[in-house]
Structure 1
Amino acid sequence: MRAIRGIWHWRGNPLRRRTDRWEAWLALGAALLIAVGAPAAGWFAGRAAHGALLTTVRLQRHERRPVWATVTRPASGTRVVPDPDTSVPHPGHPRVLARWAGPDGGPRSGEVATPRPVRAGERFRLWTDAHGRPAPPPMDEGTAGTHAGLAGAGAAVAFGGLVEGARRLAVRQLMVRRFRRWDAAWERAGQDWGRADAGS
């Protein structure tokens, strides 16, 4: 709206310069692009991310399975275990040495994190991958939807920032051109500016 008012204001003004008109049209074009393009970019990016994440959810559900693991003994200390879905460190779960059965029925063992404090001989649920190695639980559809929404919002903001950045660069070029014309006008005025016999 501000850009439209600017164009209308300069429409019949005798002091209007060509760069003023271009600047107003640039503002209007950028506003329209942001109003229409940013939501569209966010929607397309969010939809693409959601589809990719749902494929990941289905793949993880197919490859990962919960098994019963038996604690052999506690491991030394408690560690910080990063969440693979968010890549944000959080206070670690107790870690123990445990044994469990692999997909082929063979024994597996190793140091794993437990969802709660456990003692030697206790059993707990452990997620494993297709090879029987410990793995995080599969991503759920709610988490996939949240990540897709964040991706869409990020794409919309990035599109708006890109358009606004391009507009500012164009306005900067217009200002440079305007200052050059002013300098040229002052050069033409020369040393006669303000003299009584200069015909000014």
Structure 2
Amino acid sequence: MRLVIDGVTRLVRRYRLDGNPLRRRTDRWESAGLAVAMLLILLALWPATAAARQAYEGAQAAGADRRQVRATLLADTPVTALSFGEVGGGGMVAAGWTAPSGRRHTGKVSVLSPAKAGSQLTIWIDGAGRPAPPPPSEAELRITAAATALMILGVAACLVLCTFAIFRHALDRVRLREWAVAWSLADDHWRHRPS
């Protein structure tokens, strides 16, 4: 924990805007650029929150029309022949069910365990009466919203920090040119120094 605090303290000292006469103009530009970058990352919280809410409500609305109904199997579950005998198991089996609207439907449903024709099971259907996965739970909705927010914040932070890195690289090139000019002046001064 102490290492983190020391690192943050060094960063604040390095980038704070102050009246230090030893700071170069490019150092002040870099500090201002970092402040703008942090502000942009903080501003990305708003679209991330809006997108998370939209993802939550969209996933919730997608599962809102799902209903549970009782389906009757029209065939036995398939039997798999193995070298040591036959094994009954689940799979896709023809079934019939009645939607809440009263309309009769048939189709293939997923059965997890062996079952005979005429057996009943509970399935989820969508608004059109077709088999559908169950609606997302509250935990799944929250995970979807959080993942959406984190993805948008991550992309925004990546874009901002990459832009800051390019800006800092340009400042480093300016610093190197200024350094070369300063050394050239110092070299001229020392070379032409009277004895």
When normalised by structure 2's length, the TM-score is: 0.69
Partner of 2:156: 159
Using the aligned pairs only, state the percent identity: 25
- Describe the shift of the 1:127–1:12 C-alpha distance in structure 2 as closer, same or farther (beyond 3 A): closer
1:126-145 Cα distance to aligned partner (Å, 9 max, x none)? 22334443221223444223
Give the match's secondary structure for 2:132: coil
1:145 to 2:151 alignment: no
- Equivalent residue, structure 2, for 1:70: 73
> Residues 13 and 191 of structure 1: is their aligned pair in 2 closer, same or farther, counting only changes over 3 Å?
closer
- Classify the secondary structure of the residue corresponding to 1:120: coil
Q: Is the 8 A contact 1:57 1:138 kept in 2?
A: yes
Q: Is there any run of 5+ residues in structure 2 with no aligned partner, and where?
A: 1-8, 81-88
Q: 2:60 aligns with which of 49, 54, 58?
A: 54
Q: Which amino acid aligns with 1:109?
A: G
- How big is the alpha-carbon RMSD for the aligned residues of Structure 1 and Structure 2? 3.3
Q: Is the 8 A contact 2:74 2:96 kept in 1?
A: no
For the structure 1 residues 9 and 160, does the alpha-carbon distance in structure 2 shift closer, same or farther, using more than 3 Å as the test? Answer: closer
* 1:99 counterpart = 2:106: no
Unaligned segments of structure 1, at least 5 residues: 78-92
Amino acid at match of 1:100: G
- For residues 78-129 of structure 1, give each alpha carbon's deviation from its aligned partner in whole angstroms, at most 9, with x where no partner exists: xxxxxxxxxxxxxxx920422213546445233x312x41322222112233
Question: Secondary structure of 1:72's match?
Answer: coil
* TM-score, normalised by the number of residues in structure 1: 0.67
Pairing partner for 1:6 from 14, 29, 33: 14
Correspondence for 1:28: 35
| Aligned partners of 2:96 and 2:105 also within 8 Å | yes
What secondary structure does 1:19 align onto? helix
| Preserved contact between residue 10 and residue 20 of structure 1 (Cα < 8 Å) | no
